[in-house]
Amino acid sequence: MQEWKNETQGRPYGNEVKGKSRLVSMDIRKQLEWMIPTLADPFLSTADIIKCSPITFEDVKSARQNEILLNTQFCRKFPRYNFMMKALKVLATEGTLVIQTGWDYEDEEIETMVETVVTDTITGEEVIAMVKDKVTKVKKNQPTIEVCNTRNIVIDPTCEGNLDKAGFVIYSFETSLSDLKKDGRYTNLDNIVIGNSEIPGMLWRL
């Protein structure tokens, strides 16, 4: 990856001879500037990016519904331009791209008036009445994707290039204690040892 970056940025190769030209051509970088927009165009010029194929006849309607929903989220609720340009730039510059997928979900309980069927105590008939009840309102429910720094990725070296055989994949990152508590997935936060920081308690590392 470093070799690719050096060639893209036109850095010296290290075999320069004194008295001869040390100029390194920037043809690679110029070519990438023309190539990246062309590669991104198919993903940015249409609203039909994701295709959901049904497995059985009963899945046809649900597949079509999911396809419309995911395409709407990708085009309107996701910064696809910034993602595609960053992903293609990293891939073209370093020759390697790692992305992290996830799902962003957030809900809240609210009180609202809902319809319910009750039995009239006098007539015995079933009637529809409005009662106050707590319901769960979904605020966010959409996929997420992030371009990772490849230097923070450690893959099981025993897999020999086959990720299906990898026993682990480590993604190191810097964050704050408040963000770790807010995430809700970590239970051993008391065991984190503070690193050398000018402001104790501000920066933590897993």
Strands (E), the chain: 99-119, 126-147, 153-155, 169-171, 174-175, 204-205
From the CA atom positions of the chain, what is the Rg in Å?
A: 27
pLDDT at 177: 80
pLDDT at 200: 43
Backbone angles phi, psi at 104, to 5 degrees: -100, 115
Distance CA 34, CA 21 (A): 27
How many other β-carbons are positioned within 10 Å of the β-carbon of residue 83? Answer: 17
Model confidence, pTM: 0.67
pLDDT at 206: 41
Distance CA 36, CA 184 (A): 38
Question: Which residues of the chain register pLDDT less than 50?
Answer: 197-206
pLDDT at 194: 65
pLDDT at 115: 78
pLDDT at 196: 56
pLDDT at 172: 86
